[in-house]
Amino acid sequence: MKEGRDSFRVLGDVVILYAENYINDIEGEKLEDMCEAFLKKGAKKILIDFSGTDLINSIGVSILIGLIEKVRDCKAVVFFSGLKKVNYDIIDLVGITRHIQVFNSEDEALKEFEEPGSDLLV
């Protein structure tokens, strides 16, 4: 999460979660917990924005997989956006990109959410 920015934003029916600067520690579970909290409130469209994230490591991957599983369990949809190349390469390497859609920016992802049928399950 960029300094001074909120950790989440709700835009219509989309919940945007801003990931921390580093998702390389079990503290990163906060992101998973926050996502779970919104899912419990009934959120069906989740966007995780990584534009403020410099590093995702294996712990981060594990957290993101846990998050995707929770989204699936709640029959919701999650998009990722703003991933730096190095981070995209990592989530691609471990196969996460096979399961969710990744966008260059938050705006692109939000536009996609507006498209009919975007709430298809991941």
Partner 1 sequence: MALNMMNPRQAKEETVGTELSLERLVFHLNTLAELGDEVTSPREFSRVVKASLFMVMGTFSASKGVIFSYDGEKRLFSPVASKGLPEMGQTGGAGGGGVELKLNDAALKEALKCTAPVDLAGEEPIVRMLGPGKETLDRLSARLVVFLVTKDELLGLIAINEKFSGEDYSDYDMRLLSVMAQQISYSLHSQTLLTRLISKYNENRELYKNLSRVYYDTIHAFATAIDAKDAYTKGHSHRVSSYCAVLAGEMGWNEGDVEGIRIAGLLHDIGKIAVDKSIINKASPLTSMECRELNSHPVVGYEILSKIKFPWKGIPLMTRNHHEKVDGSGYPDRLERAEIPLGARVMALVDAFDAMTTDRPYRPRLTFREAMEEVKRNYDRQFDPDVVRPFIKVIRKEINGESEHPSIVPFLQEHLENAEVARILEDFPR
Interface residues for partner 1 in 69-88 (CB under 8 A)?
A: 69, 79, 88
Task: Kindly tell me which residue out of 26, 114, 116, 117 binds partner 1, with binding defined by CB under 8 A.
Answer: 26
Burial 63-92 (b: 16+ CB within 10 A, else e): bbbbbbebbeebebbbbbbbbeeebbebbe
- The Cα 85–Cα 38 span in angstroms is 28
- SS3 assignment, position 119: coil
Member of 7, 13, 21, 58 binding partner 1 (CB under 8 A): 58
Task: Give residues 32-51 in contact with partner 1 (rule: CB under 8 A).
Answer: none
Q: Which residues bind partner 1 (CB under 8 A)?
A: 24-26, 29, 57-63, 65-66, 68-69, 79, 88-90, 92-99, 101-104, 112
